[in-house]
Amino acid sequence: MKKTTQAQATSTQIPHHATAIRKLSPYQRDTLGRIAIGDDRFIHPKTAEALQKRGLIVSRKETHSCSSDRFRVVVTRYDVPIPVHMAWCEWCSEQEDVRG
């Protein structure tokens, strides 16, 4: 069995992710961009589910509690895997600057 290095795996995944990013709706692309820069607040569950199904984000649970540990809150957080983040950066660099 041939072993694949991390660099090889990443280089073969970027075109796949870039294609997936181009197929997103503007709202989904905006949401992916917010998650990519670390702002995963107020993500609509259906949008998160669609991005997860495409393999563009991953979710994780975080538990927060007060000092007395009587109240616990479980929050779903989202991250963008590194190969997806690289494809996202590439996609962003191809966009025209609309700020003037």
Eight-state DSSP code of residue 23 = T
pTM, entire model: 0.75
pLDDT band at residue 96 under the 50/70/90 scheme? confident
Which among 68, 78, 81, 88 has a CA at the least distance from the CA of 21? 88
The reported pLDDT for the residue numbered 7 is: 45
Domain range list for the chain? 6-94
At 30-84, the pLDDT tens digits run 999 999 999 999 999 999 999 999 999 999 999 988 877 788 889 999 999 999 9
Using CA atoms, how far apart are residues 10 and 38, in angstroms rounded to an integer?
21
Residue 10 has pLDDT above 70, yes or no: no
Query: pLDDT at position 98, please?
Result: 57
